[in-house]
Structure 1
Amino acid sequence: MSDAPAAPVTEQGVPPVAQTEEVPSFKVFIGNLAYSTTDEGLKAFFEPVQSDIISAQVIMRGNRSAGYGFVALSTVEAAQKAVEALDKKQLDGRQIIVEIAKPADQKENERKDRKSRRRPGRRGSRAVPGEVTEAEANGEAKTEDAAPAEGEAPKLKKKKKKTVKKSIAKASAPDDVAEPAAPASEGELFHRKRTPRPRRAVGEEPAGEPSKSVLFVANLGFNIDDAALAALFTEAGINVVSARIVRRQYGRPRKSKGYGFVDVGDEAEQKKAIEAFEGKEVGGRPIAVKIAVNAQARETKENGDADEGTSEVAIVAA
Structure 2
Amino acid sequence: MAFAANTALISSPTLFTPSKISCSRLYLSVPYKTTKFQLNCKPLSSLPLTPSFCLRRKEKSVLSALGEDFPAVLDEIEGNSSWDVAVEGEEGEGGFVVQPPEEAKVYVGNLPFDVDNDRLGQLFGQAGVVENAEVIYDRITGRSRGFGFVTMSTVEEAEKAVELFSRYDMDGRFLTVNIAAPRGSRPERAPREPGHRIYVGNLPWSVDSGRLEELFSEHGAIVSVRVVSDRETGRSRGFGFVEMSTESEMNDAISSLDGEVLDGRPIKVNAALERQTRGRF
| TM-score normalised over the length of structure 1 | 0.27
Query: Highest CA radius of gyration, 1 or 2?
Result: 1
Larger strand share, 1 or 2: 2
| TM-score normalised over the length of structure 2 | 0.30
**Greater RCO between the two (CA within 8 Å, min separation 6)?**
2
